[in-house]
Amino acid sequence: MLMADKTVLVTGTASGIGRETALLAVREGAAKVACLDVHDQNNEETAHELEKMGAEAIALHVDLGDVDQIRTGFKSTLEAFGRLDASAHIGGYSWRGETLDVTEDLWNLVMNVNLRGTFFCCQEALRIMYPQGSGAIVNMSADAAFNPIYGFALQAAGKGGIVNMTKTLALEAAPRGVRVNVVSPGICRTQKAGANRPFQPPLKRETAPPSDAVERLGDMTAIGRYMTMEEVANAFVFLCSDRASGVSGDLMFVNGGGYPTLEY
């Protein structure tokens, strides 16, 4: 099994890809899982589910926009489990809107959760992993960072920053036995059952895409369908595992081949 006896931390575990990754890690043998999310009720349900599957699990309230809470979350994980083999930083959200509607407060809110939150999760994971001389970190990007999509300038800045940060961190971490990678998923329907993202004012674009674009998004991918949460979780769990021992500083797309006909 890919994660036999491993101690794992996952952010964004109240819902969606983060939850799926925690579940898959335990199906692959992970023994201890720390679940970090801001939505307590659903996060506790995830931890409970992991315990029913035979793992030791803790649900920790962490707002990724708050660096002190991130530090406390990692400290509590180390106190509870004594080590950390893999850290998957998945929590966050996308925000789509006109650049002229992005206030300084909104910029701070979105960037603090997605980019700053991911950076400080990496920092805390490295603090634990360097003394161990081993560990794997996997961050979450988004295809909006690579394919210009109307209204995603803020999103592209944050999720693109995560990719560049990952590659540089990987260089620092490699000689200390720690791998750092990043996954960029394609379009994936998730429960969206965690924290609410900030309000998105309507787009004011002059040339609108077809009115059924959202329903047809899956058809516009090369593979002709949405990605599943499990397909994305598989990438996270593989990169967290020793099976990926030679992979670091890598960006793995899970998007079924991209978007030859994207009109969105």
Ligand X SMILES: NC(=O)c1ccc[n+]([C@@H]2O[C@H](COP(=O)([O-])OP(=O)(O)OC[C@H]3O[C@@H](n4cnc5c(N)ncnc54)[C@H](O)[C@@H]3O)[C@@H](O)[C@H]2O)c1
Taking the complex as a whole, the smallest distance from the CB of residue 153 to ligand X amounts, in Å, to 15
Taking the complex as a whole, the smallest distance from the CB of residue 30 to ligand X amounts, in Å, to 19
Taking the complex as a whole, the smallest distance from the CB of residue 8 to ligand X amounts, in Å, to 16
- Cα angle value 129/47/109 (rounded, 5°): 70
* Residue 15 CA: distances (Å) to CA of 40, 71, 105, 179: 11, 22, 25, 26
Phi-psi map region of 33: left, alpha, beta (phi>0 left; psi -120 to 50 alpha): beta
Provide φ and ψ at 9, rounded to 5°: -120, 135
Taking the complex as a whole, the smallest distance from the CB of residue 240 to ligand X amounts, in Å, to 16
Query: Which is it for the CA torsion 4, 5, 11, 16, positive or negative?
Result: positive
Taking the complex as a whole, the smallest distance from the CB of residue 246 to ligand X amounts, in Å, to 25
Where do contacts with ligand X occur on this chain (CB under 6 A)?
Answer: 12, 14-18, 37-39, 62-65, 90-94, 113, 140, 142, 185, 187-188, 190-192, 194-195
Please say which residue, 42 or 241, places its beta carbon nearer to ligand X.
42
Please say which residue, 128 or 149, places its beta carbon nearer to ligand X.
149
Helix then strand then coil, in percent of the chain rounded to 5, is: 45, 15, 40
Q: Encoding tokens for residue 196? A: 């609410």
Please say which residue, 118 or 248, places its beta carbon nearer to ligand X.
118
- Cα angle value 186/191/193 (rounded, 5°): 125
> Cβ–Cβ contacts within 10 Å for residue 200, how many?
14
Please say which residue, 111 or 140, places its beta carbon nearer to ligand X.
140
Please say which residue, 35 or 55, places its beta carbon nearer to ligand X.
35
Q: Encoding tokens for residue 167? A: 């590659």
Taking the complex as a whole, the smallest distance from the CB of residue 195 to ligand X amounts, in Å, to 4
Taking the complex as a whole, the smallest distance from the CB of residue 150 to ligand X amounts, in Å, to 16
Please say which residue, 83 or 209, places its beta carbon nearer to ligand X.
209
Report how far residue 125's alpha carbon sits from residue 77's, in angstroms, rounded to the nearest whole number.
Answer: 10
Please say which residue, 73 or 135, places its beta carbon nearer to ligand X.
73
Report how far residue 249's alpha carbon sits from residue 226's, in angstroms, rounded to the nearest whole number.
Answer: 26
Interaxial angle between packed helices 153-173 and 104-111, expressed in degrees from 0 to 180 and rounded to the nearest 10:
40
